[in-house]
Structure 1
Amino acid sequence: MDSSPHHGSRCQHDYSLPDAFYNGRPRGAAAGEINDALLFLAVPAGWLIRLVAFLGELVASAILSLVFPVAILIGALRALPSVVASNLRRAAVGLLAAACTFVALVAALFVSVLLGFVLVRHWVEKPVTVRQPLYFDYTEAQPSAAVALGGARGVALPTGHSVRVSMALLLPDSYHNREVGMFQIKAEAISVSGITTASAAQPYMLRYKSDPVRLAQSAVMCVPLTLGMRSETQAANLKVLQYREGHGRHKRTGLIRVMLQPRAGTVRLPQVYSAEVVVQTTLPWTKSLAHRLKWTLRVWVSFSVCIVLVVFAICWVQPFAASARSRRLSELQAKGKMASDVDTGDIGESPSKELSEDFTLKRRERRSRKHDFERKHMEAA
């Protein structure tokens, strides 16, 4: 019985894998897939190799592009004569020194401008304006509202400034306010320690309008009033207090208090939509002049700071420059000494050269005389 076909079918080779992975045993489908996976993991992917090669070429080209000009310049300098190379080296050092000097001057200018602006901003005072809303306490017999100035210490107004306190009121044009008529507005400046440093009072009432004028205005403005574009109000801007800010804790303003007082014989107070207090300060004439000329002061202070920085830089660099100058002079003196030695050697050799030339001339004269004597002797014979 011929068993060759049976053996051929059983021992079929898997040509999908390299011969190195074949061990002579028959392989199944599962074993072939496992070997394929192992081979894929063992051999790197082609795209990864190409990526690594591309990155390597990119890095190498970048390095060569940076190094190649420098190498060419160094080679060209080495190929030049020593005098030309020395001059080029000195020119390069001069350009580098000029660039460093320019950078130092620009840095000094920038620092001086920055310091000038900071110093002028710190020294020159400016007017202070504070706006705060007022909320009157109508549970009191005389409603009052206070506005604190500054932070925890309660000091916000600079000393020596003239302080002007004004108040803006928005009052409804109502029948009640028209019946109230005149009322009093009192303002007080209270120090940090609780002492009243300034106080003033001012009367006020709504502007009068007769009934025909009021009806005519209502008829003309009926559409804006109905749509809410206008309101039946009156605005009042009152200057209620003016004083000078003092020195010391007992004279520094901590808060501004405003009170509404009814007129004598009545207890009726006006209705108020909103109220706002505005505290403005005015500089003394010297500080006001400095504030108006702050840009000029900034320029001059920056220029002065720049000059000082340049002087300090020169004093700091002068020892290094002196040492470099002395080193240069010593090199020049050494070169001059070598040149003088060479010249002296040439002068010392010149007498020997002159002696040899005299000896040669005398020898030639002797030969010429000898030849003349022999020629005359032959002619006589």
Structure 2
Amino acid sequence: MDSSSLEEKSFLLSLNPSSSWLINLITFQADFLTNILSFLFSPFTSLAYELIHRTEQAEKKAEDTVVAATRVPYRVAEGGIVFLRKLGFGCLGALYACVILTAILILALVVGIGLVQFWVEEPVFFQEPVHFDYTQVHPTAVFSLQGKKRKGVPAGQTYYVSLVLLMPESDFNRQIGVFQVTAEVVAVTGNTLAISSQPCMLRFRSLPVRLMHTFIMGVPLLLGISGETQTIGITILKHKERYPRTRAIRLTLQPRAGTSGVPQLYSAEIVIKSELPLMKQVVHNWKWTLYVWTSSYVYIIFLVLTVCCCRPLFFPVNVVVRNQRDVLVEDVSGQASRVRGDREALESLERWRRTRISSRSKRKAPLGYDFYEETVGSSASSSAAVSREEASEVVEDFGGFTDAESVCQGG
């Protein structure tokens, strides 16, 4: 070795204690200066940190305010859409309910009015002209109560027969004076059920009255506006309809005793008007009230029956929800059965893997077979379940078999 190198090494060794001391001194001075500066500037740094923290909080608060302000219109719009949707569904439901209730109301009105009409009887009223046969000694006219357009008077009703005669004020009629009008009720069997007769004559007018009347009504008489006639109304017959029923009414004009002349007629008209029994008369007088009350009761009955027997018609939403619930239950049960089948398949795969591993261990390690079998059995029993990926890998490794029995038979 060279002498110069030895001297340098000895010099460096002599400087090592002093160099470490110098480094320690520099470090102490740096720490001292750092502490003094941190002590002096600590209020300013804390103030700066506080300002920065407050600035960050203000920025965050402003961002939250902006986000909330942007979310408010969205929430308002979303709430408005939901409200309009609910309002639309409500209007549709109200319209649907009104249609159903209106249909039930119309049906109830038809049934109620039909029931009242079936119970209520209408009085019979006929007013038709009759023609007397003057070829007979006693002129006769027959009015039939049963025909194509007439069904007769219902049994139990009482009817009145009146005769209206339009007679000229001729000297012949005034000379005849009183004559007799007879009415007979003829049954369907041909027998006479009732008979009634009543006298009749023209109203008397003296000669001065007739002259004065002719003088005053001269112009209308000459123009044909009025005529020299009299109208006479006679109520001839009152009869209560029973069985056998009435077929016709026969009217006869008869002269008074000792004479043979019958009056002259322009026209004759028969009027038949029936009268209902007391109870039926009350019902007929209050039929509109009965229409209202009967229809109301029928409407309530139909409404109750519809709600009880046709609930899906009023509450289709419940039926849809129930059907959806049934579908969900079926889906859940199907998924549970599939999961159960997958679990059984996994268990069968696990048993198959155990048998496969045990067969491999028998082929590879004939010595120490018992220890290896125990180790494999304990590790297999410690695993609670096998995932589908492992099962698919096992199936791919061993040819895609999924049935443990078929795989074992193949092995």
TM surpasses 0.5 = yes
For 1:331 and 1:145, locate their aligned partners in 2 and report how far apart those are by CA, in whole Å.
Answer: 84
Instruction: Name the structure 1 match of 2:300.
Output: 307
CA displacement, residues 319-356 of structure 1 (integer Å, 9 cap, x when unaligned): 685655655778999xxxxxxxxxxxxxxxxxxxxxxx
CA displacement, residues 33-73 of structure 1 (integer Å, 9 cap, x when unaligned): xxxxxxxxxxxxxxxxxxxxxxxxxxxxxxxxxxxxxxxxx
Bigger drift between 91-100 and 159-168 goes to 91-100
Residue identity over aligned pairs, in percent, reads 40
Q: Secondary structure at the match of 1:118?
A: helix
Change (3 A) 1:194 1:85: same
The reply to whether residue 262 of structure 1 matches residue 255 of structure 2 is yes
What letter matches 1:294 in structure 2?
K
What letter matches 2:126 in structure 1?
V
For 2:216 and 2:97, locate their aligned partners in 1 and report how far apart those are by CA, in whole Å.
Answer: 77
For 1:162 and 1:286, locate their aligned partners in 2 and report how far apart those are by CA, in whole Å.
Answer: 14
TM (norm. structure 1) is 0.59
For 1:152 and 1:128, locate their aligned partners in 2 and report how far apart those are by CA, in whole Å.
Answer: 16
| Structure of higher RCO (CA pairs closer than 8 Å, 6+ residues apart) | 1
Instruction: Name the structure 2 match of 1:163.
Output: 159
Larger helix percent: 2
Instruction: Name the structure 1 match of 2:270.
Output: 277
What letter matches 1:201 in structure 2?
S
TM (norm. structure 2) is 0.55
What letter matches 1:203 in structure 2?
P
Structure 1: runs of 5 or more not aligned: 1-79, 334-381
Change (3 A) 1:146 1:238: same
Tell me if structure 2 keeps the 8 A contact 1:155–1:253: no
For 1:307 and 1:288, locate their aligned partners in 2 and report how far apart those are by CA, in whole Å.
Answer: 28
Query: Based on CA coordinates, which of the two structures has the bigger radius of gyration?
Result: 2
Instruction: Name the structure 1 match of 2:281.
Output: 288
Instruction: Name the structure 1 match of 2:180.
Output: 184
Instruction: Name the structure 1 match of 2:121.
Output: 125
Offset, 1:171: 0.6
Instruction: Name the structure 2 match of 1:110.
Output: 106
Tell me if structure 2 keeps the 8 A contact 1:166–1:240: yes
Change (3 A) 1:89 1:316: farther
Offset, 1:318: 2.9
Instruction: Name the structure 2 match of 1:226.
Output: 222
CA displacement, residues 192-232 of structure 1 (integer Å, 9 cap, x when unaligned): 22121121000111122222222222222222211111211
Offset, 1:138: 0.3
Tell me if structure 2 keeps the 8 A contact 1:164–1:243: yes
**How many residues are treated as equivalent by the alignment?**
251
For 1:213 and 1:102, locate their aligned partners in 2 and report how far apart those are by CA, in whole Å.
Answer: 73
For 1:239 and 1:119, locate their aligned partners in 2 and report how far apart those are by CA, in whole Å.
Answer: 36
What letter matches 2:288 in structure 1?
W
Q: Secondary structure at the match of 1:301?
A: helix
Q: Secondary structure at the match of 2:310?
A: helix
For 2:234 and 2:128, locate their aligned partners in 1 and report how far apart those are by CA, in whole Å.
Answer: 15
Change (3 A) 1:89 1:231: closer
Instruction: Name the structure 1 match of 2:239.
Output: 243
